[in-house]
Amino acid sequence: MRRLDDQRVILTGATGGIGTVIAERLVAEGASVALTDVDGDACAELAARLDGDTLPVRLDVTAEDAWRSVVLAVRERWGAAHVLVNNAGIGSLGTVGSETRERWDQVVAVDQLGTWLGMKHVGAEIERSGGGAIVNIASILGATGGLANSFSYAAAKGAVRSMTMNAALHWATRGVRVNAVVPAFIGTAPLLERYGGTERHTAMLANTPMGRLGRPEEVAAAVAFLASDDSGYTTGSEIYVDGGWSAR
Ligand SMILES: NC(=O)c1ccc[n+]([C@@H]2O[C@H](COP(=O)([O-])OP(=O)(O)OC[C@H]3O[C@@H](n4cnc5c(N)ncnc54)[C@H](O)[C@@H]3O)[C@@H](O)[C@H]2O)c1
């Protein structure tokens, strides 16, 4: 038996560098997966490519009504959801001094507000379904000073970590476990396209004790563990997939 047989999962940011690999892993573990992303066409393409039980749905995580629609779409297709993976996210390179108010609002809307809205709407559904798990994707930049930039991103990802603990306590006796995965820099194709060979890329490697970027598969493995009953006594917790960054 695979770890997520009969489990219904809602995954956000499913078509990005890490999201695609999480989707592949969840399907391989036997889950039925609602593949959601603000890019609806890419969701349909991913669903066509994956050999599994999937439902592509466009979802902008900042839109509360859209969350209600996704919850209903999953309920109609398979029944109530058991698992939410809050993976959608956007970044920013601005420092405490250079970040703009406009970018701050965008980053906080997707990374922080989007994570909360997902927990609010899908968490209630998971409780109704008889229990399950929420996995939030945070970042090492929300747990340390990072590279002294990405200021609004660090603020929002720090909030993801505190929201994870708070929500875990709320649902502790009601069958909904809430945990976070905290990756350092993961060498996805989009990330390397953006930073490969730049000073930032060099700094990412130099600051990582293991001396290499992480692989999306290594994030997906942590997600699969936290989504499944293998982590049945784990809530309000974090798995660092960071090549040793937080140990420095
Ligand atoms: N790549 C890394 O090094 C790294 C490190 C730590 C944490 N993370 C986190 O992992 C997650 C995935 O990152 P990634 O590297 O795959 O990034 P990515 O940019 O490749 O993918 C992000 C996905 O989120 C989607 N998205 C953006 N705005 C959205 C919105 N409003 N509603 C719904 N979807 C939206 C994008 O369309 C995209 O498919 C993010 O939360 C990111 O912050 C990434």
Looking at residue 97, its pLDDT comes to 98
Which ligand 1 atom is at minimum distance from the Cα of 19?
A: 16
DSSP notation for 197-230: TSHHHHHHHHT-TTSS-B-HHHHHHHHHHHHSGG
201 burial (CB, 10 Å; 0-12 / 13-18 / 19+) is: middle
d(CA 190, ligand 1 centre) in Å:
10
Q: pLDDT at position 65, please?
A: 98
Query: Could you tell me which residues come within 8 angstroms of residue 247 by beta carbon, excluding any fewer than 6 positions away?
Result: 209
In a mutational test of the pocket of ligand 1, which residue from 35, 61, 90 has the highest number of ligand atoms less than 8 Å from its CB?
90
**129 within ligand 1 shell (Cβ under 6 A):** no
- 109 Cα nearest atom in ligand 1: 31
Q: How far is the CA of 100 from the centre of ligand 1 (A)?
A: 20
Residue 198 burial class via C-beta count within 10 angstroms: exposed 0-12, middle 13-18, buried 19 and up: exposed
User: CB under 8 Å to 59, separation ≥6 — which residues?
Assistant: 12, 36, 37, 38, 66, 67, 69, 70
From ligand 1's centre to the CA of 162, what distance in Å? 19
- The answer, yes or no, to whether any atom of ligand 1 lies below 6 A from the CB of 17, is yes
Ligand 1 binding pocket includes 87 (Cβ within 6 Å):
yes
The answer to the question of residue 84 being in a domain is yes
Q: Quote the crossing angle between the two packed helices 114-129 and 64-77, to the nearest 10°.
A: 30
Q: Global pTM?
A: 0.98
Residue 52's alpha-carbon distances to 75, 141, 157, in angstroms, are 18, 34, 31
pLDDT at 239: 98
- Residues 32, 53: contact at Cβ < 8 Å? yes
Residue 133 in domain: yes
Would you say residue 200 lies in a domain?
no
Residue nearest to atom 22 of ligand 1 (CA): 16
Q: Confirm whether 207 is domain-assigned.
A: no
Provide the domain count of the chain. Answer: 1
Residue 235 Cβ inside 6 Å of ligand 1? The answer reads: no
Q: What is the CATH number of the domain that holds 99?
A: 3.40.50.720
Write phi, then psi, for 211 (nearest 5 degrees): 75, 15
Contact 240, 182 (CB under 8 A): yes
Please report the pLDDT score of residue 231 as a whole number: 98
The pLDDT of residue 41:
98
Q: Digits of tens for pLDDT over the chain (248 positions)?
A: 799 999 999 999 999 999 999 999 999 999 999 999 999 999 999 999 999 999 999 999 999 999 999 999 999 999 999 999 999 999 999 999 999 999 999 999 999 999 999 999 999 999 999 999 999 999 999 999 999 999 999 999 999 999 999 999 999 999 999 999 999 999 999 998 999 999 999 999 999 999 999 999 999 999 999 999 999 999 999 999 999 999 99
Within 10 A of 16 (CB to CB), how many other CB atoms are there?
23
Q: Is 222 in the pocket of ligand 1 (CB under 6 A)?
A: no
Cβ-contact 84, 22 below 8 angstroms? no
**What pLDDT, on the 0 to 100 scale, is given for residue 18?**
98
How high is the pLDDT of residue 108? Answer: 98
Catalytic residues: 153
* Alpha-carbon distances of 166 from 10, 22, 215, rounded to whole Å: 21, 25, 29
205 domain residue, yes or no: no
Domain for residue 244, yes or no? no
Cβ(216) to ligand 1 under 6 A? no
User: Which domain does 230 fall in, by range?
Assistant: 8-188+215-238
Number of Cβ atoms within 10 Å of the Cβ of 65: 10
Residue 132 included in any domain: yes
Nearest CA to ligand 1 atom 25: 13
17 contacts: CB under 8 Å, gap ≥ 6: 186, 188, 189, 190, 191, 216
Give a yes or no: residue 87 inside a domain.
Answer: yes
108 within ligand 1 shell (Cβ under 6 A): no
pLDDT (0 to 100) of residue 241:
98
